[in-house]
Amino acid sequence: MIIKGRKIPLIILYKEALLRRIPQNSPHRPKIKEDLLKYWSGYHGECKVDRHLSTLSQKNVLILNDLQIPIGKTTFQIDSLLIFKSVALILEVKNISGMLNIGGEFNQFSRTNNDGIITGFTNPISQAERYSHHLRQWLKANGFAQLPVDYLVVFTNPSSVLNGLPNSKQFKQRVIKVADLLKKLSEIQTDYPKTVLCDRDAKKAAKKLLKAHIDPPIFTKIEETILTGVQCVNCRTFGMERKKASWYCNSCGSYDKQAHVQAIFDYFLLVNPKISNKQARSFLHVNSSKVVHGILNSMRLNSQGENKNKQYVTPFHSV
């Protein structure tokens, strides 16, 4: 049963919004594009894992995706957590291509691409071990100390070649390719034959983790001009005009009734997680407060305050 589904990460929405609304000649563009490729690739890898998990018998496992749990002064992030009645299993998902070298005397992780260029990364085994340790601490503090914690590092890119260096006993037991996920899960259940949680307590643990989850912090904003106005989805020009209860593009002549939605969402992502009628008028380039009132109400956003102090709130994260 899926207790927490997976959504497109906020960082992706934020960076996509940036690309829409910073000037074409901004020096920040190449780095944002590069980051986006990396985040999309990670997200697609995780979705691949989800597709494999969707064939599991749903009554035996509780699944929480993309969990961010505070512990002490920090947080730890789990790509997928599977709670069986005998074990909690962390899946650390990596969607990296190339020849991947893991472990060795110094417990390192690197990728060699087709041109022979070697890039080092954080070792996902050490990372998953650290998260397992944190999760154990959390479970203990919340009354579920009896539940053992284990982990798997799942590589999802079909073109990756896994290369375990000598000394890598852990590598063989804990690192798999996504195609072997289901087989490995049944092996792990055999490794943990003892039921330690009843159905009710397993659900209780999952719900408590869900409640402890926090949305990732809002990222450091870049110093750059944010273009205002409503963008035409057809020709990408900014400055659509409100006409006949729709938006009209002077550049390509197209109408779009919903063009304001992206603009308001971009405001939430790039400017402020709340918007007043006055701020929306200025951002959408509309003079009439009545028109903007109608537009904001039609979006069915949560709001705070009344009348002049009313602010509509972002749907992307809690504020």
Binding footprint of Zn ion on the chain (CB under 5 A): 232, 234-235, 237, 249, 251-252
- Residue pair 28/224 in contact (Cβ under 8 Å)? The answer is yes
Minimum Å gap between C-beta 162 and Zn ion is: 48
Q: Is 73 exposed, middle or buried (0-12, 13-18, 19+ CB in 10 A)?
A: exposed
DSSP string, 12-44: HHHHHHHHHHS-TT-TTHHHHHHHHHHHHHHHH
- Residue pair 242/265 in contact (Cβ under 8 Å)? The answer is no
Minimum Å gap between C-beta 236 and Zn ion is: 7
Q: Return the amino acid letter for 185.
A: L
Tell me whether residue 152 or residue 249 sits nearer to Zn ion (CB atom). Answer: 249
Sheet holding 255-256, edge to edge: 241-243, 246-248, 255-256
- Joined together, the tokens standing for residue 238 give 């900014």
Residue 278 and residue 311: Cα distance in Å, rounded? 10
Minimum Å gap between C-beta 227 and Zn ion is: 15
Tell me whether residue 1 or residue 252 sits nearer to Zn ion (CB atom). Answer: 252
- Joined together, the tokens standing for residue 167 give 């000394």
Minimum Å gap between C-beta 75 and Zn ion is: 42
Minimum Å gap between C-beta 24 and Zn ion is: 16
How many helices and strands in the chain, by DSSP H and E?
A: 9, 16
Residue 270 and residue 25: Cα distance in Å, rounded? 18
Minimum Å gap between C-beta 84 and Zn ion is: 53
- Residue pair 230/239 in contact (Cβ under 8 Å)? The answer is yes
Minimum Å gap between C-beta 228 and Zn ion is: 17
Tell me whether residue 38 or residue 236 sits nearer to Zn ion (CB atom). Answer: 236
Tell me whether residue 64 or residue 249 sits nearer to Zn ion (CB atom). Answer: 249
Residue 302 and residue 238: Cα distance in Å, rounded? 27
Closest listed residue to residue 147, CA positions, set 198, 182, 183: 198
- Residue pair 229/284 in contact (Cβ under 8 Å)? The answer is yes
Minimum Å gap between C-beta 240 and Zn ion is: 7
The residue behind tokens 């006055």 is 278
